[in-house]
Structure 1
């Protein structure tokens, strides 16, 4: 059977057609959206999970390619006091809760799709990301099938226009290959892809009664994408839509980057960002970007390295306010980067409705909190919002015409700051808001139905 699958940077969702309407599948705790997170008590357990859930015909080759990890699993499970049947794997909200309770004990990844197009990945790293994606898709597909009562065999998966700011089409092909491999291992027989902003546009188009030139602006968790599309009654039944898609732009900057920027600019002062050495030299900003950049594999590896721990500890003797640097060391020792950025995300959400909010930082220091205002939020996000506006301008320029309407979708697309920035740069063009999370899934589902029926 057919399903639309949004394997998003922030959330995952699946949709099926029922009585000519899209129905979202409940994936976790009676909710339609499952956070794109995974927690494993040991990274080898991820490959072990895949090995135990592959089709019989694929197991032998997989086991040979992952032998160095799989051979260690029995000893790992004994050390972790796990039964042989225990997976040691959690996804979604359960993974977040495991990470909060045991941040230093396991392997936690948020928004894994953000890494799939990374430049310079070694073959073993690509294989590991395939296993992460396979594990998540296997579990999500299984949950959907249990609820629906039938097997899912065909899917259209959403993808950003560009998975990475650098790397170009090679990065895109690498990421699509990882997702294709994972979906096939999870049991999908047919896998196709559709640009996420186009998927949102397909959903929006369903209700249009007149033709419109639409700029779809999709601000996801890991990427921002714009698609300029001719839509409406004259176009939606076309079997081939290539000529209707006038332009696409995209960049690896999304809601996660807004959270990271806010964390760096407003929360790392607690960790000593503005402090000085006794020599008078300032603390290097790079340390604090490394602590916050949860979507950058190399920066996180550098931050959590043994060398960095030794360097930070040595700095304690040279810094004017060692108690603040000690908090950064606590973040490093206890793997609290995701927790730090999560607090920034909560502040971003709160400040969309209120002019100020208190950020709870007690997880790195007793009774530690900070009042953050919407003015400080705007200052922290200024550069990121500027980049999104440039993407929208480029899409319009490439299309060679002005849009009749701007359609905003995605988790961060409803930010008043973003709307104000777009209006200032693009002029007084009508802006409409879609379902922040459901538009892409609905469009993918409608496209899958058209493609596979």
Structure 2
């Protein structure tokens, strides 16, 4: 039975697959030469075959005409997930697109292993949506439906930080306590656990809807969007005085999930109206170029690269915006990065402390802090964790594969009942 279970970490930014083989984790390269792939799709403009992962990103970078989409997981549990839109020459829903992505993952895993995977153990965040149990349940139902439509007949879920706990290497001392900090693209999840021999005991799990895409959005709003007119002023159509430029387009343009939905005539008309009334028309003109030339994802990738550089404490980091204007860039420093993300520190701290409250265990009892997920590499995460648990050892797990490894290790037990 275990050999037929596919472990899938369907992430906001990256995905991975694995299986348990002879008691050991076997990661399955569902993208050539890589153990993970970007959770992204590209649909050519006129009915071409869907591309996923790095191939989708390459099509975007190469300037192929079509629709690029990323961060689809963040739409689970919303009405938008089942609405149809014109994508790649036909009307499709996001549910159909996620299903197609998972179907390719299944097909590639089967081709790589020679197995027929009818069973899947999928990771899921502790909460898809913070403080909204109804939407949270709907999100899992949405994802379950996609797995079913992709060809799986038995589907089970495990909280992502609990999966990571199965793969963690905590303090070797008997009864040592570990805290998983799984900071992904869309959610931050925490599990307090104890390892008893080969057994992993989960003491409490908690999570909030906050992740790397939120970090990117705030960095973009603080560093890039002012160069496109955000924070500027508009002249009134009638009468004297000035009005602030509305925020809505900028918020959507800085959000991975909402970028594709800006490329409609309604948005173009709204930007044209802004341009007619703008005090700083050059900046709004850049916004118009981004919308009409569909440069939103290139902008988001540039912000992501700048974030990584500044997080490495590069004082000379810049967000290169040459694809909008050859001379355009935005300076980003460790200090400006910290300022942009300062509002998230209290949310992270509160969520971590709530995990300890759920377990009724004080933070000073923790022996190991285990960082998981791409966004756990951000300094604000390790800084907050160290401040809460100053006596704990900080351990960096395999950021992008810890969850899928743990899912594979837990797969036999998940389907034993």
Aligned equivalent of 1:101: 62
8 Å CA contact 2:68–2:260 kept in 1: the answer is no
* 2:294 pairs with 1:291: no
* 2:356 pairs with 1:393: no
* 2:314 pairs with 1:384: no
1:309 to 268, 284, 299: 268
> CA shift at 1:187, angstroms?
2.4
8 Å CA contact 1:411–1:437 kept in 2: the answer is yes
* 2:12 pairs with 1:9: yes
Change (3 A) 1:164 1:277: same
8 Å CA contact 1:208–1:233 kept in 2: the answer is no
Partners in 1 of 2:266 and 2:110 — Cα distance?
46
Change (3 A) 1:178 1:102: farther
Change (3 A) 1:404 1:322: same
* 2:305 pairs with 1:343: no
> CA shift at 1:330, angstroms?
1.4
Aligned equivalent of 2:213: 256
> CA shift at 1:255, angstroms?
1.0
Partners in 1 of 2:22 and 2:122 — Cα distance?
22
Aligned CA-pair RMSD: 2.4
SS of alignment partner, residue 277 of structure 1: strand
Structure 2 residue runs without a partner (length 5+): 86-91, 236-240
Higher strand share: 2
Aligned equivalent of 1:36: 39
Aligned equivalent of 1:48: none
8 Å CA contact 1:393–1:426 kept in 2: the answer is no
Partners in 2 of 1:285 and 1:249 — Cα distance?
32
Partners in 1 of 2:278 and 2:143 — Cα distance?
46
* 2:400 pairs with 1:440: no
Partners in 2 of 1:116 and 1:137 — Cα distance?
14
> CA shift at 1:378, angstroms?
0.6
* 2:321 pairs with 1:361: yes
Partners in 2 of 1:195 and 1:362 — Cα distance?
41
**Range 357-366 or range 306-315, more displaced:** 306-315
> CA shift at 1:209, angstroms?
5.3
Equivalent runs, 1:145-156 vs 2, <5 Å? 145-156=110-121
Give the structure-2-normalised TM-score.
0.88
Change (3 A) 1:195 1:376: same
> CA shift at 1:383, angstroms?
1.4
8 Å CA contact 2:349–2:384 kept in 1: the answer is yes
Partners in 1 of 2:404 and 2:170 — Cα distance?
14
Aligned equivalent of 1:193: 157
8 Å CA contact 1:225–1:251 kept in 2: the answer is yes
SS of alignment partner, residue 323 of structure 1: helix
> CA shift at 1:197, angstroms?
0.3
8 Å CA contact 1:293–1:300 kept in 2: the answer is no
Structure 1 residue runs without a partner (length 5+): 43-79, 237-243
2:174 to 194, 200, 210: 210
* 2:21 pairs with 1:18: yes
Aligned equivalent of 1:269: 226
> CA shift at 1:156, angstroms?
0.6
Partners in 1 of 2:116 and 2:263 — Cα distance?
42
Aligned equivalent of 2:145: 181
1:377-417 Cα distance to aligned partner (Å, 9 max, x none): 11111112331222111111221112333221110112222
Partners in 2 of 1:17 and 1:235 — Cα distance?
17
SS of alignment partner, residue 164 of structure 1: coil
> CA shift at 1:321, angstroms?
1.7
Partners in 2 of 1:19 and 1:190 — Cα distance?
22
SS of alignment partner, residue 367 of structure 1: coil
8 Å CA contact 1:3–1:155 kept in 2: the answer is yes
> CA shift at 1:140, angstroms?
1.1
Give the structure-1-normalised TM-score.
0.81
How many residues end up aligned between the 2 structures? 398
* 2:49 pairs with 1:88: yes
> CA shift at 1:36, angstroms?
0.1
8 Å CA contact 1:15–1:24 kept in 2: the answer is yes
Partners in 2 of 1:225 and 1:449 — Cα distance?
23
Partners in 2 of 1:310 and 1:252 — Cα distance?
32
* 2:383 pairs with 1:414: no
> CA shift at 1:39, angstroms?
1.2
Partners in 2 of 1:124 and 1:300 — Cα distance?
14
Partners in 2 of 1:217 and 1:245 — Cα distance?
14
> CA shift at 1:452, angstroms?
3.4
8 Å CA contact 1:257–1:384 kept in 2: the answer is no
8 Å CA contact 1:16–1:445 kept in 2: the answer is yes
* 2:243 pairs with 1:281: yes
> CA shift at 1:346, angstroms?
0.9
